[in-house]
Each structure stands twice: as C-alpha cells, then as structure tokens.
Amino acid sequence: MGYMIRTVILLGALTGLFLFVGHLIGGKTGMTIALILAGIMNFIAYWFSDKIVLSMYGAREIPYEEAPWLHQIVEELANKAGIPKPPIYLVPMEQPNAFATGRGPGHAAVAVTSGILHLLDRDELRGVLAHELGHIKNRDVLVATMAATIAGAISYLVNMFQWMLIFGGGRDEENRGGWAGLVGSLMLIILTPIIAMIIQMAISRSREYLADETGAKISGDPLALARALEKIHNYVYQIPAEVNQGTAHLFIENPLSGEGIWELFSTHPSTEKRIERLKELARKMGVYA
C-alpha cells in the first residue's frame, strides 16, 4: 500500500509541475495543447506497446508443447494473482532478463530471454515470472503511460517556451525582468525537464518495488526472487545487450541503472536495496532459507 500511495503522490507532484509550467508559459491554452499532443502520442504507445516492444526484440511466442513446464508455472502464478494467463515470449538474447508488456490483465504478455532460462533454477525463474505478473496485475503500463504523458507535456511546453525566447520573446522578457528575467527563463528551460524526469524515474522505481512485493506474495517465496535478482545483476554487466533506452524500464534488471546520486536518474532501484527489502518481506511472511 505504501508504494501505491507514493506513486499517487509522485504523479500528483508531476501534475502540479505541469500545471505550474503550463500556466507560467502559455496559460490555459498552451497547457491544453501540450497535454493533448502528449496524450495522443502516449495513447498510441499504450495501445500498441506490447506489439512494438516484442517486435523490437525479435520475440517469438513459445507454444505450449515446446515448454509445458514453463506454461504450467505461468498458469499457476496467474491463477494465484487472479489474472488471465498471458502468452509467453522468448527473446533471443544471451543476457539474462525478462519483462512484461501490455495494457493490463487480459491484454499483456510475458517475455523471457534465452539467457535467463539457462541461468536460473526453476524456483528462481518462478520468482521472476511472479514479479512480471505483478506488473501486469498492478497495471504498471498504465501508470507509466500516465507519467510519460505528463512528463512529455512538460517537455513540450518548455521546448515551446525556448522557441518563443529565440523568436522575439526574449526582448519582452528582458524588459519585464532584465537579466534576472532572462536567467530565470534559462533556469526554467534547463531545470524543469530534469525535475520532471527525476519524478518520472521515481515513479518507475516505486512500481519496481511494488512488483517485487506483489510477485513475492504471489509466489510465496521472496527469497527465490532475491536470489534471482542477485544472479541476474551479476551477469547483466558481464553480458551486454543492445537494449533500447526507451524500453529499459520494462526489464526486471536495467543495465543502465546507477548508484548513489545517479540512482535518481535510474528507472530501477539498486539491486542491493531490492534484495534487502525482499529478505525483510520474507521474515514478515515467515519464509526462511
């Protein structure tokens, strides 16, 4: 529940930033135009994201007869999660990883790389699949789309303001506030998209924590997911993969995630923090190694 509340607060902060910048730059008209344009782009991404992402990584659907054990795991977990069993796809990638995509229960897919099938044992893979089903159950694609829509609208407004300054708005701004007004405008152009991105990344990290928790409860084995994350983390840096940065947030482990201050700009929390939280959850659930 805590992660859900945090997501709502962060979405509210992102919306507040959008309203503030929109009113400051273009009033209600500019704000409405930006939101409509960003909404159209993200509407398309929301409805066709599963097909786009699966095609991008050359994924193919795994028929039941090819891996009945894998289908049985997903079906069992989906039943526990109370959602329809999604189709399973294989991504021809040596790097061990997995992701879920789609609009939500009934319109989703789970994808695993060939590398993760070779690396993890059955319990660890079950933990990873439960995590991905957690994303589907929690409708994280919808949440990510909402965040991307607002962040995209903010970027559009700032970009529009930048062109206004270039083509004549600068003199008016200088008359109103002199150099202080100009510096303020430049700070707005530089800092606002960064702040929006930090909030958007924070939302993504909250959803990862929530999927870890949801998946652990679905599988009943938080420690199996913790072991899987540790293995994946160690291998993901040894086996680089060509991952589109725009889809990196989908994977259970992001090779671009940072540590320390750089974690603010990462779509994923640090693996160490995720493992520690899973171990704490295991203690609360009475699950021991």
By annotation, the residues acting in catalysis are 132
DSSP state of 287: -
What tokens does 58 get? 């050359």
CA distance 27 to 24: 6
CA distance 262 to 256: 10
Q: How many CB atoms lie within 10 A of CB 92?
A: 11
Dihedral sign from CA coordinates of 190, 196, 199, 205: negative
Burial of residue 178, with CB atoms counted within 10 A of its CB: 0-12 exposed, 13-18 middle, 19 or more buried: exposed
The amino acid that residue 101 corresponds to is T
User: What are the residues whose beta carbons fall under 8 Å from the beta carbon of 265, sequence distance 6 or more?
Assistant: 197, 198, 201, 258
The dihedral over CA atoms of 8, 11, 17, 20, expressed in degrees to the nearest 10, equals: -70
Nearest to 113 by CA among 132, 99, 129, 93: 93
User: What are the residues whose beta carbons fall under 8 Å from the beta carbon of 36, sequence distance 6 or more?
Assistant: none
Contact by Cβ (8 Å): 78, 106: no
